[in-house]
C-alpha cells in the first residue's frame, strides 16, 4: 500500500512501541500509594517532564488526556464555563470557520445547550485568520467574549495560522486563547511559552505515538471547569486513571518528533513539492489549496475539476493508494468541505478535492506511484460524473 494519509494517523515509532511494551508488563496504578503505584507515578511524571521540555512549558502546565478531541472539549467547554460563571455576560465564543470538528462541534453544542453565542472568525482565500479580523470581532463587545480558539495549522489544507499574533490580540483584552496544535507539533516549531497562548492541544497518534494519549497545556492561571469528574487526577482538571504505558510512549514519540523536526520538515517539503509537480504534470488543471508557503511541509491538498472527491479516492484506493477527502473524522459523509467553503470555494470545487499527506516512512516511490495512477483515475472519475449527469 502507498500510504498518503499521515495527517489522519501515522505509524507508531519503534522506540515508542518498545517503551510501551515494557510498561505493559509492569503493574501499578499511578494513584496508588504502595511501591508499585509510586513506580507508575514516577513514569507518569517523567513523561510529563519530557512533554513539557519538548513543548516549551513547565510540567505543571501539562494535563494528560485521552487524545486531541478530549483536550479540545476540555479547553472549550471548561474555559467557557469558567468565564461564564464568573461573569454571565461572557457568552461569546470566537473560533475560526476552518476549525476541526473537535472544536466546532463542542462550540455548537455550547451554543445549543449552554446559552453560548458562537461567532465564526472569517478566513481569507488561503484559510488564514488575520489579527485585524480577530481584533474587530473582539472590539464589537470585548466584555462578552469568553474564549477564542484558532488552530495552529489546518488539518485539511495545511495552512499555518499567525498564532502568536492572534494570541497577543486576545491577551490585550484578558481573553483566554486556545489553539489546536495537533497537526503542527512535529512539523512546525511549537513553543507554548513563546506563543503566548493560554491552552494548547496535542495528541500522540499524529506524531508516531499511540492513539489514546494526548495533552492539554494550560498556562498558569488558566483554570477550566472539569468535564470529567471522578478521582481528581491531573490536578482535578481531568479525572480518570492515567494510562501509564501510553503516556510513556506518547512522551517518547513527541521528544523524537521535536528533536528531528527541522530535517524531517525539509525532507517532507521537498517530497511534497515533487508530489504536487507530479500530479500537475498528469492533471494540469489540478488546483493546490491552502497557503502556497505558510503550510505544513507534508500537506498537499488539491482540487480536481470535474471529479467527485469520494469517487476519485476509491479509484486510487483500488490502485493501493490511500489518501483522504479531508478530515478523517468526517470520512464517509458526502458533503462539501467546510474548510474550502469558508475559503470561498464553490460547493462543486469543495467536493472535488483530495488531501495527500506525507510522513515518516514516505518515499519517492510513493510519489511516483501517485503520479502514475492519478491521470487515469481522474479520467475515469470525470467520465463517471459525466455519465451520471447525462442519465
CA atoms lying within 13 Å on the CB side of residue 331: 13
CA distance 48 to 53: 9
Sheet holding 92-96, edge to edge: 62-65, 214-218, 199-203, 177-180, 145-149, 92-96, 117-121
Strand partners, 158: none
CA distance 55 to 184: 11
Which ranges of the chain would DSSP assign to H, the alpha helix?
14-24, 35-55, 68-86, 101-113, 131-139, 163-172, 192-195, 244-259, 261-282, 309-318, 338-342, 347-350, 364-390
Which residues does 35 contact at the CB level (< 8 Å), separation at least 6? Answer: none
CA distance 130 to 175: 17
- For the question of residue 329 being annotated catalytic, the response is yes
CA atoms lying within 13 Å on the CB side of residue 378: 22
Catalytic residue among 57, 307, 323, 329: 329
Question: Helix, strand, or coil here: 83?
Answer: helix
Report whether 277 contacts 51 (CB < 8 A).
no
Which residues does 56 contact at the CB level (< 8 Å), separation at least 6? Answer: 190, 191, 192, 193, 194
Which residues does 293 contact at the CB level (< 8 Å), separation at least 6? Answer: none
- For 334-362, give the secondary structure using H, E and C: CCCCHHHHHCCCCHHHHCCEEEEECCCCC
Report whether 179 contacts 170 (CB < 8 A).
no
CA distance 178 to 286: 34
Cα dihedral 371, 376, 377, 382, rounded to 10, equals: 130
The residues annotated as belonging to the active site are: 329
Amino acid at each position: 500500500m502507498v500510504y498518503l494519509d499521515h495527517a489522519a494517523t501515522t505509524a507508531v515509532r519503534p522506540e515508542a512501541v518498545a517503551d510501551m511494551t515494557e510498561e505493559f508488563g509492569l503493574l501499578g496504578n499511578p494513584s496508588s500509594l504502595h511501591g508499585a503505584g509510586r513506580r507508575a507515578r514516577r513514569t507518569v511524571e517523567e513523561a510529563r517532564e519530557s512533554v513539557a521540555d519538548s513543548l516549551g512549558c513547565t510540567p505543571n502546565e501539562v494535563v494528560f488526556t485521552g487524545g486531541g478531541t478530549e483536550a479540545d472539549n476540555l479547553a472549550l467547554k471548561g474555559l467557557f464555563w469558567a468565564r461564564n460563571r464568573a461573569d454571565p455576560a461572557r457568552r461569546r465564543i470566537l473560533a475560526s470557520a476552518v476549525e476541526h470538528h473537535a472544536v466546532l462541534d463542542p462550540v455548537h453544542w455550547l451554543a445549543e445547550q449552554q446559552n453560548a453565542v458562537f461567532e465564526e472568525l472569517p478566513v481569507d482565500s488561503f484559510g488564514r485568520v488575520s489579527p485585524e479580523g480577530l481584533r474587530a470581532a473582539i472590539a464589537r463587545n470585548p466584555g462578552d467574549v469568553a474564549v477564542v480558539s484558532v488552530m495552529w495549522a489546518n488539518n485539511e489544507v495545511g495552512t499555518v495560522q499567525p498564532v502568536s499574533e492572534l494570541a497577543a490580540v486576545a491577551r490585550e483584552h484578558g481573553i483566554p486563547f486556545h489553539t489546536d496544535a495537533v497537526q503542527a507539533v512535529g512539523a512546525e516549531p511549537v513553543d507554548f511559552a513563546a506563543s503566548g497562548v493560554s491552552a494548547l492541544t496535542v495528541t500522540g497518534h499524529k506524531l508516531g505515538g499511540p492513539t489514546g494519549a494526548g495533552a492539554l497545556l494550560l498556562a498558569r492561571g488558566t483554570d477550566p471547569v472539569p468535564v470529567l469528574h471522578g478521582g481528581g487526577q491531573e490536578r482535578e482538571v481531568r479525572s480518570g486513571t492515567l494510562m501509564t504505558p501510553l503516556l510513556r510512549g506518547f512522551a517518547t514519540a513527541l521528544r523524537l518528533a521535536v528533536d528531528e523536526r527541522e530535517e524531517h520538515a525539509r525532507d517532507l517539503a521537498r517530497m511534497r513539492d515533487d508530489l504536487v509537480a507530479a500530479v500537475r504534470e498528469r492533471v494540469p488543471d489540478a488546483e493546490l489549496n491552502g497557503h502556497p508557503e505558510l503550510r505544513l511541509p507534508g500537506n498537499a491538498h488539491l482540487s480536481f475539476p470535474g471529479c467527485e472527491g469520494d469517487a476519485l479516492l476509491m479509484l486510487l484506493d483500488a490502485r493501493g493508494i490511500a489518501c483522504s477527502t479531508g478530515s478523517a473524522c468526517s470520512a464517509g459523509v458526502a458533503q462539501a468541505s467546510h474548510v474550502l467553503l469558508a475559503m470561498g470555494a464553490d460547493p462543486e470545487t469543495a467536493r472535488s478535492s483530495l488531501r495527500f499527506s506525507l510522513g515518516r516512512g514516505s518515499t519517492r516511490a510513493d510519489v511516483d506511484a501517485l503520479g502514475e495512477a492519478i491521470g487515469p483515475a481522474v479520467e475515469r472519475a470525470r467520465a463517471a460524473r459525466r455519465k451520471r449527469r447525462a442519465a
